[in-house]
């Protein structure tokens, strides 16, 4: 290795030194311009501040109806999760909570058909997808709506 072959690593970046006299090109106002809020020390303007103008969130009219507040949300469980139970078991919301498959029951439990069920079970839940019902009954299990 020779000294003339050394190359400066690309990660290092020289920091801008401001306020070091007129010869530096960044003296006097230290690249802040003349007057105004941003030229003062200690300025912190929030990104959504519009300089005293009425902000956008107050200019936009708030009207209309959204049904999101009144929707019913169900705790979802897939068929592949039910393989944790033994063959011939009765699956209830309480047993799902004991196994740790459902944390928050919400408005009830809905069984979906994702995954493959390998055991004959009696499943009691609030809702079932039609595909889940057919997959459970193909294996000889039963579904019961609570």
35-89 pLDDT per residue, tens: 988 899 898 999 989 989 999 999 999 888 888 889 899 999 998 888 888 888 8
Residue 53 lies in a domain: no
- Residue 14 belongs to some domain of the structure: no
d(CA 57, CA 2): 62
The pLDDT of residue 106 is: 85
State how far the Cα of 18 lies from the Cα of 22, in Å rounded to an integer.
10
Residue 56 is assigned to a structural domain of this protein: no
Three-class SS of 54-69: CCHHHHCCCCCCCHHH
Domain membership flag for residue 62: no
CATH of residue 133's domain is 3.100.10.10
For residue 55, is it within any domain? no
pLDDT for res 50: 92
Number of domains in the chain: 1
* Distance of alpha carbon 128 from the chain centroid: 26
The tokens describing 108, both together, are: 């009830």
Residue 110 lies in a domain: yes
The pTM (predicted TM-score) of the whole model is 0.53
In a domain, 21, yes or no: no
Token pair of 127, please?
């809702």
Question: Does any domain span residue 136?
Answer: yes
Domain range enclosing 126: 72-145
Cβ atoms of residues 125 and 141 within 8 Å = no
């Amino acid at each position: 290795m020779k000294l003339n072959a050394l190359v400066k690593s690309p990660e290092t970046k020289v920091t801008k030194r401001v306020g070091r006299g007129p010869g530096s090109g960044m003296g006097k106002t230290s690249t802040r311009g003349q007057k105004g809020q941003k030229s003062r020390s200690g300025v912190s303007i929030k990104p959504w501040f519009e300089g005293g103008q009425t902000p956008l969130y107050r200019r936009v009219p708030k009207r209309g109806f959204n049904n999101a507040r009144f929707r019913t949300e169900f705790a979802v469980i897939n068929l592949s999760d039910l393989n944790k139970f033994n063959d011939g078991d009765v699956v209830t919301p309480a047993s799902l909570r004991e196994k740790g498959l459902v944390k928050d029951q919400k408005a009830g439990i809905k069984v979906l058909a994702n995954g493959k069920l390998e055991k004959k079970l009696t499943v009691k839940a609030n809702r079932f997808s039609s595909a889940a019902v057919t997959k459970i009954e193909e294996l000889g299990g039963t579904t019961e709506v609570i």
